[in-house]
Structure 1
Amino acid sequence: MDLTGKEIAMLVLRLLFGLLYSVYCMVETLVLTLIPRSYRRKDIKGNVILVTGGGSGIGRLMCIKLAARGAIVVTWDVSEEGNLETVRQVVAAGGQCRAYTVDLCNRHAIYAAATKLKQEVGKVDILVNNAGIVTGKKLLDSPDESIIRTFEVNALSHFWTTKAFLRDMMALNKGHIVTIASMAGKLPCNGLVDYCSSKFAAVGFDESLRLEFKAEGKNGIKTTVVCPMYIGTGMFKGVQSKIFPVLKPEYVAEEVVDAILMNTPVLLIPGHMRIVHLIRAGFPEKASHYLGEIMGVTSMMDKFEGRKKD
């Protein structure tokens, strides 16, 4: 398509404005980091917040912390026992919590549970897609069923849960969808082909969804993607990290809750992982691989055990 001189001039002006706007956004981000968090947190009192995978780990910790801020928390988990323990701890701390046993591999079960939740509790204001699983095996050692289940829980379930509650958010132009992904969705790792792939999908889900909301003018619906390094919940038991820290669950849960309260679009934990991500993106593939070997990316899964089932 041939452009006229006027159209070319307009395109150049828009590009220049885009560059200036980019500088403004960077300055704005810098200024916001200097403002105490207490002044930036939104009020979630009375909000209905659904946390998938809330029956254990950081899911349970988030339920406790969100309920402490006055939210009505709902936990979905495949473990009825874990769910009930989360409810017990939240109620013991003075919060409100409901539990539903849901198999996130079954989209029909998700839709049915969503209908029941809306009837018994109300519309969901904040959806936290937190549930996740890991096989921890090399590709040829991973059973097909395990690969499918990894994608069903870590990626596909996000589509079904979001579709189940998004229509209400769209109607009000208000809501928040949180995706608990992983740094494995930014940086690949040996022995985690299925897990990394599913988390890359989760990151892409968040980024595409955020763009779709903006394109449709639904700026009142916020999204947050969380990419932490390994968390010491037992899920990655046996992982050996030379440089990357194994994070404490309490710290991660606190950071995630703060990101929700401040409408943070992207949260990398720890924060300096942003630099690692930028370095990898700018380095040639051979150099990235060499640096990865030095940092232990190719060997950290060698003694992986994972969380053992009773």
Structure 2
Amino acid sequence: MPTNNQNQNNQNGPTAMQTLQVFLEFFWVLIQLTYFNIEAIVRWFVPPPKKSVNGEIVLVTGAGHGIGKEFAMQYAALGATVIAWDVNEQNNLKTVKEINRLGYPKAYSYVCDVSNREKVFETVEKVRKDVGDITIIVNNAGIMPTHSLLEHTQKEIEAIFDINVLGHFWIIQAIMPSMLKRNHGHIVSISSCAGLSGLENLVPYCASKFAVRGYMEALRMELELIPNCQVKLTTIYPYMVDTGLCKKPIIRFAEAMTMLTPYEVAATAIDGQMRGVRHVSVPRLYWYMNNYFRMNAEKGMKAMKEFLGVSLGSDLS
């Protein structure tokens, strides 16, 4: 039973000692914020060293085309065994044959619809039996219809989330248990610069890419609850990429802000994964610019967007 003094303290609010403790804890948080900001600036100029991916088993979704193909090619060149997934069997096989023709370590082709949870689990189990446990995931597969929200059909919106978001969940749920068991692994998820700021004609797509950013941040929080967890996460935010998805790009400063090539996106992303960087935008400066403008008035973000003049026209017109 609480004493009369304890009841009186509870009624009168926190004691001077409790107040001092909260103040000191908050002051310590401010010190940590200062340290972490300085650390981030130093890391910009002196990035962490790369860790080899030689011998890793890397799953790349959407490996039959564009960025996914480049991921597969570049990981293979670095000595990793590549597990290529795509719904297009013909394109996927072309990627694997090209890797093998160049004499890189063995690459394997699997047809898998990432939006189908049962199929994902079946294919992961088949990979485990054929090759071994996947140690690096590259959640790359995605679709990007570009027209106004009211012109999007129900089928389109559902497909965007099924592939761009839910497919990531199914893959992670199927593979992360083995990573945790081995205490070794890395999950790379492709968001987008459209996952940092909204853009017209991309409402469902932006929502899906914001979701990728959100689930990766939340998943990191869960993993940090596990002592000495060595399963790492990296989220990638590319600017417009010349893969055919950006059908009608509108760029005011076209010479200075040219569309990215799949090669440079994959190269920058792999470099970030090997260094254990949590967030990688392509170009790298965009992540920091977005964080800066987010600290200003909302209208400031809109003013900068209008100045840059970057948008996408409708693919229906």
Tell me the equivalent position of 1:214. 224
Q: Give the gaps of 5 or more residues in structure 2.
A: 1-9
Judged with a 3 Å threshold, the aligned counterparts in structure 2 of structure 1 residues 252 and 197 are, in CA distance, closer, same or farther, namely same
1:19 aligns to what? 30
Separation (CA, whole Å) in 1 of partners of 2:283 and 2:120: 32
1:42 maps to which of 30, 51, 75 = 51
Give the deviation of 1:207 after TM superposition: 0.7
In 1, Cα distance between equivalents of 2:14 and 2:74: 56
Q: CA deviation at 1:305?
A: 7.4
Match of 1:223 among 223, 229, 233: 233
Instruction: Flag structure 1 segments of 5+ consecutive residues without an equivalent.
Output: none
Shift of 1:14: 2.3
What TM-score, normalized to structure 2? Answer: 0.89
- Identify if the C-alpha distance between structure 1 residues 305 and 80 changes in structure 2 by more than 3 Å, giving closer, same or farther: farther
- Equivalent residue number for residue 114 of structure 2: 104
- For residue 86 of structure 1, the aligned residue among 76, 95, 101 is 95
Q: Is 1:28 aligned to 2:39, yes or no?
A: yes
Q: Percent identity?
A: 31
Question: Contact 1:52–1:128 (CA<8 Å) still a contact in 2?
Answer: yes
273, 291, 304: which one aligns with 2:304: 291
Measured on the aligned residues, the alpha-carbon RMSD in Å equals 2.0
Q: Does 1:265 align with 2:278?
A: yes
Query: Distance in 1 between the 2:124 and 2:208 partners?
Result: 23
Say if 2:74 is the partner of 1:65. yes
Distance 1:113 1:263 in 2: 27
Match of 2:3 in 1: none
Report the AA paired with residue 46 of structure 1.
G
Q: What is the count of residue pairs matched by the alignment?
A: 302
So what's the TM-score if we normalise by structure 1? 0.91
Structure (1 or 2) with the larger CA radius of gyration: 2
In the TM superposition, residue 276 of structure 1 has moved relative to its aligned partner by: 3.2
d(CA) in 1 for partners of 2:183 and 2:19? 36
Alignment of 1:1-310 (within 5 A): 2-35=13-46, 40-95=49-104, 96-243=106-253, 244-297=257-310, 300-302=311-313, 304=315
CA distance in 2, matches of 1:7, 1:60: 58
Per-residue CA deviation, residues 242-287 of structure 1 (Å, 9 max, x unaligned), is: 2444112211111011011101100011122134313431233334
- Higher mean displacement: 272-281 or 155-164: 272-281
